[in-house]
Amino acid sequence: MSALFPLTVKGATTTRRGKVLAGPIDLTLDGGGTCVVIGPNGAGKTSLLRMLHGTARITRGQVTWACDTETARHHQAFVFQHPVMLRRSVIENLVYPLRVRGMPRTAARQRAVDWATRIGLGHMLERHAPVLSGGEQQKLAIARALIVEPRLLFLDEPCASLDGRAMREVEEILVQAAASGTRLILSTHDMGQARRLADQVVFLLRGKVQETGLAKNFFDQPQTSQAVAFLNGDIVE
Protein backbone atom coordinates (compact mmCIF):
# COMPACT_ATOMS: atom_id res chain seq x y z
CA MET A 1 0.00 0.00 0.00
CA SER A 2 1.51 3.32 -1.07
CA ALA A 3 1.96 6.00 1.58
CA LEU A 4 0.44 9.43 0.90
CA PHE A 5 2.70 11.35 3.27
CA PRO A 6 4.83 13.30 3.64
CA LEU A 7 3.02 15.94 1.59
CA THR A 8 5.39 18.62 0.32
CA VAL A 9 4.22 21.99 -0.97
CA LYS A 10 6.75 24.27 -2.66
CA GLY A 11 5.80 27.74 -3.82
CA ALA A 12 2.28 26.60 -4.69
CA THR A 13 -0.10 29.37 -5.71
CA THR A 14 -3.71 29.36 -6.84
CA THR A 15 -5.36 32.34 -8.53
CA ARG A 16 -8.74 33.34 -9.88
CA ARG A 17 -9.10 36.01 -12.57
CA GLY A 18 -5.61 37.21 -11.82
CA LYS A 19 -6.15 37.49 -8.07
CA VAL A 20 -4.01 35.36 -5.77
CA LEU A 21 -6.28 33.32 -3.47
CA ALA A 22 -3.48 31.51 -1.67
CA GLY A 23 0.25 31.38 -2.11
CA PRO A 24 3.02 31.08 -2.51
CA ILE A 25 2.72 28.23 0.00
CA ASP A 26 5.68 26.31 1.39
CA LEU A 27 4.61 23.52 3.70
CA THR A 28 5.41 19.94 4.68
CA LEU A 29 2.83 17.72 6.39
CA ASP A 30 3.42 14.27 7.77
CA GLY A 31 0.81 11.54 8.00
CA GLY A 32 -0.22 11.66 11.65
CA GLY A 33 -3.24 13.01 13.47
CA THR A 34 -5.34 16.08 12.72
CA CYS A 35 -4.01 19.23 11.08
CA VAL A 36 -6.14 22.32 11.67
CA VAL A 37 -5.83 25.33 9.36
CA ILE A 38 -6.72 28.62 11.02
CA GLY A 39 -6.62 32.30 10.13
CA PRO A 40 -8.89 35.32 9.74
CA ASN A 41 -11.65 35.48 7.15
CA GLY A 42 -10.15 35.81 3.69
CA ALA A 43 -6.80 34.34 4.74
CA GLY A 44 -7.06 31.60 2.10
CA LYS A 45 -8.02 28.59 4.24
CA THR A 46 -10.53 27.16 1.76
CA SER A 47 -8.22 27.84 -1.17
CA LEU A 48 -5.37 26.01 0.56
CA LEU A 49 -7.51 22.94 1.20
CA ARG A 50 -8.80 22.91 -2.37
CA MET A 51 -5.29 23.35 -3.72
CA LEU A 52 -4.00 20.38 -1.70
CA HIS A 53 -7.00 18.28 -2.71
CA GLY A 54 -6.62 19.17 -6.37
CA THR A 55 -9.90 21.01 -6.95
CA ALA A 56 -8.16 24.38 -7.26
CA ARG A 57 -5.70 24.76 -10.13
CA ILE A 58 -2.11 25.44 -9.13
CA THR A 59 -0.81 28.28 -11.27
CA ARG A 60 2.73 28.20 -9.87
CA GLY A 61 4.75 25.84 -7.71
CA GLN A 62 3.92 22.24 -6.92
CA VAL A 63 2.20 19.88 -4.49
CA THR A 64 4.00 16.55 -4.16
CA TRP A 65 2.69 13.44 -2.44
CA ALA A 66 4.79 10.46 -1.32
CA CYS A 67 3.02 8.47 -4.04
CA ASP A 68 1.80 9.43 -7.51
CA THR A 69 -0.93 12.04 -7.63
CA GLU A 70 -3.60 9.72 -9.05
CA THR A 71 -3.14 7.27 -6.18
CA ALA A 72 -3.18 10.09 -3.63
CA ARG A 73 -6.44 11.53 -5.01
CA HIS A 74 -8.07 8.09 -5.00
CA HIS A 75 -7.52 7.82 -1.26
CA GLN A 76 -8.88 11.28 -0.38
CA ALA A 77 -12.29 12.76 0.32
CA PHE A 78 -13.52 16.33 0.85
CA VAL A 79 -16.39 17.67 2.98
CA PHE A 80 -17.62 21.17 2.15
CA GLN A 81 -18.72 23.85 4.60
CA HIS A 82 -22.25 23.63 3.20
CA PRO A 83 -22.97 19.92 2.73
CA VAL A 84 -24.07 18.81 -0.72
CA MET A 85 -26.86 16.27 -0.52
CA LEU A 86 -27.88 13.95 -3.32
CA ARG A 87 -31.62 14.21 -3.91
CA ARG A 88 -32.03 10.73 -2.53
CA SER A 89 -32.71 9.06 0.82
CA VAL A 90 -30.20 8.96 3.66
CA ILE A 91 -29.27 5.36 2.90
CA GLU A 92 -28.90 6.00 -0.83
CA ASN A 93 -26.55 8.93 -0.09
CA LEU A 94 -24.37 6.47 1.80
CA VAL A 95 -24.70 3.65 -0.72
CA TYR A 96 -23.76 5.83 -3.70
CA PRO A 97 -19.97 6.21 -3.17
CA LEU A 98 -19.66 2.51 -2.43
CA ARG A 99 -21.49 1.52 -5.62
CA VAL A 100 -19.35 3.93 -7.63
CA ARG A 101 -16.32 2.00 -6.35
CA GLY A 102 -17.81 -1.31 -7.38
CA MET A 103 -19.16 -2.71 -4.10
CA PRO A 104 -22.14 -5.06 -4.57
CA ARG A 105 -25.46 -3.46 -3.59
CA THR A 106 -26.22 -5.83 -0.72
CA ALA A 107 -22.85 -5.25 0.93
CA ALA A 108 -23.09 -1.49 0.24
CA ARG A 109 -26.51 -1.25 1.90
CA GLN A 110 -25.29 -3.15 4.95
CA ARG A 111 -22.31 -0.83 5.37
CA ALA A 112 -24.62 2.15 4.82
CA VAL A 113 -26.97 0.96 7.57
CA ASP A 114 -24.01 0.49 9.91
CA TRP A 115 -22.75 4.02 9.23
CA ALA A 116 -26.20 5.61 9.52
CA THR A 117 -26.58 3.96 12.91
CA ARG A 118 -23.12 5.07 13.97
CA ILE A 119 -23.94 8.74 13.29
CA GLY A 120 -27.38 8.62 14.86
CA LEU A 121 -29.41 8.52 11.63
CA GLY A 122 -30.31 4.84 11.72
CA HIS A 123 -33.98 5.73 12.23
CA MET A 124 -33.97 8.01 9.17
CA LEU A 125 -32.75 5.63 6.46
CA GLU A 126 -35.56 6.44 4.04
CA ARG A 127 -35.75 10.16 4.90
CA HIS A 128 -35.11 12.49 1.95
CA ALA A 129 -31.62 13.82 2.68
CA PRO A 130 -32.19 17.45 1.56
CA VAL A 131 -34.88 17.94 4.25
CA LEU A 132 -32.57 16.98 7.14
CA SER A 133 -31.43 19.63 9.60
CA GLY A 134 -28.08 21.32 9.08
CA GLY A 135 -26.39 19.17 11.70
CA GLU A 136 -27.89 15.98 10.30
CA GLN A 137 -26.79 16.88 6.78
CA GLN A 138 -23.26 17.58 7.94
CA LYS A 139 -23.04 14.27 9.79
CA LEU A 140 -24.35 12.51 6.71
CA ALA A 141 -21.83 14.30 4.46
CA ILE A 142 -18.97 13.28 6.75
CA ALA A 143 -20.21 9.68 6.94
CA ARG A 144 -20.55 9.58 3.14
CA ALA A 145 -16.90 10.65 2.89
CA LEU A 146 -15.64 8.24 5.56
CA ILE A 147 -17.65 5.24 4.40
CA VAL A 148 -15.12 4.56 1.62
CA GLU A 149 -12.34 4.52 4.23
CA PRO A 150 -10.16 7.32 2.84
CA ARG A 151 -6.66 7.68 4.20
CA LEU A 152 -7.09 11.47 4.14
CA LEU A 153 -10.17 13.61 4.70
CA PHE A 154 -10.32 17.36 4.04
CA LEU A 155 -13.04 19.32 5.85
CA ASP A 156 -13.75 23.00 5.15
CA GLU A 157 -15.28 24.65 8.25
CA PRO A 158 -17.37 21.54 9.00
CA CYS A 159 -19.15 23.10 12.00
CA ALA A 160 -19.45 26.72 10.88
CA SER A 161 -23.25 26.90 11.02
CA LEU A 162 -23.99 24.26 13.66
CA ASP A 163 -25.22 24.63 17.21
CA GLY A 164 -23.28 23.28 20.18
CA ARG A 165 -24.93 19.87 20.26
CA ALA A 166 -24.45 19.24 16.55
CA MET A 167 -20.86 20.46 16.77
CA ARG A 168 -20.15 18.02 19.59
CA GLU A 169 -21.62 15.14 17.59
CA VAL A 170 -19.57 16.03 14.50
CA GLU A 171 -16.39 16.36 16.54
CA GLU A 172 -16.98 12.92 18.06
CA ILE A 173 -17.17 11.43 14.56
CA LEU A 174 -13.94 13.20 13.59
CA VAL A 175 -12.11 12.07 16.73
CA GLN A 176 -13.13 8.48 16.04
CA ALA A 177 -12.00 8.77 12.42
CA ALA A 178 -8.60 10.13 13.46
CA ALA A 179 -8.24 7.38 16.06
CA SER A 180 -8.91 4.78 13.37
CA GLY A 181 -6.04 6.14 11.27
CA THR A 182 -7.66 8.62 8.89
CA ARG A 183 -5.53 11.76 8.47
CA LEU A 184 -7.69 14.87 8.86
CA ILE A 185 -6.92 18.31 7.45
CA LEU A 186 -9.64 20.80 8.37
CA SER A 187 -10.16 24.52 8.51
CA THR A 188 -12.02 26.28 11.28
CA HIS A 189 -12.62 29.77 12.64
CA ASP A 190 -13.48 28.33 16.08
CA MET A 191 -10.40 28.40 18.31
CA GLY A 192 -12.09 26.18 20.88
CA GLN A 193 -12.57 23.54 18.21
CA ALA A 194 -9.01 23.99 16.99
CA ARG A 195 -7.67 23.43 20.50
CA ARG A 196 -9.85 20.35 20.97
CA LEU A 197 -8.99 18.65 17.68
CA ALA A 198 -5.59 19.79 16.47
CA ASP A 199 -2.37 17.84 16.65
CA GLN A 200 -0.78 20.27 14.20
CA VAL A 201 -1.71 23.86 13.31
CA VAL A 202 -1.18 25.84 10.14
CA PHE A 203 -1.79 29.57 10.62
CA LEU A 204 -2.57 31.43 7.40
CA LEU A 205 -2.50 35.16 6.85
CA ARG A 206 -3.00 36.94 3.52
CA GLY A 207 -2.82 33.63 1.67
CA LYS A 208 0.53 32.57 3.08
CA VAL A 209 1.66 30.27 5.87
CA GLN A 210 2.54 32.59 8.72
CA GLU A 211 3.35 29.89 11.26
CA THR A 212 3.03 26.13 11.62
CA GLY A 213 3.84 23.60 14.30
CA LEU A 214 2.54 21.22 16.92
CA ALA A 215 -0.76 22.41 18.37
CA LYS A 216 0.42 22.57 21.97
CA ASN A 217 3.44 24.65 21.05
CA PHE A 218 1.41 26.96 18.84
CA PHE A 219 -1.32 27.67 21.38
CA ASP A 220 1.03 27.93 24.37
CA GLN A 221 3.91 29.77 22.74
CA PRO A 222 3.10 31.25 19.32
CA GLN A 223 6.24 32.42 17.56
CA THR A 224 4.95 35.42 15.62
CA SER A 225 3.28 38.63 16.74
CA GLN A 226 0.50 38.02 14.21
CA ALA A 227 -0.31 34.64 15.76
CA VAL A 228 -0.29 36.16 19.24
CA ALA A 229 -2.70 38.87 18.12
CA PHE A 230 -4.97 36.40 16.37
CA LEU A 231 -5.18 34.14 19.40
CA ASN A 232 -5.92 37.17 21.58
CA GLY A 233 -8.91 37.93 19.38
CA ASP A 234 -7.39 41.06 17.86
CA ILE A 235 -8.02 42.06 14.25
CA VAL A 236 -5.17 40.76 12.11
CA GLU A 237 -4.72 41.99 8.54
pLDDT digits (tens, 9 = 90+) for 6-32: 999 999 999 998 899 998 999 999 877
Give the whole-angstrom CA distance, residue 150 versus residue 73.
Answer: 10
Peptide bond into 130 cis (omega under 30): no
- Nearest CA to 158 out of 149, 99, 208, 175 is that of 175
DSSP three-state, residue 161: coil
Residue 63 backbone dihedrals phi, psi, to 5 degrees: -120, 120
User: Residues 138, 77, 84, 209: what is their CA dihedral angle, to the nearest 10 degrees?
Assistant: 80
Residue 203 — very low, low, confident or very high, per pLDDT cuts 50/70/90? very high
What are the boundaries of each domain within the chain? 7-80+152-160+181-231
| 141, pLDDT greater than 90 | yes
- Yes or no: is domain 7-80+152-160+181-231 CATH 3.30.430.20? no
pTM as predicted: 0.93
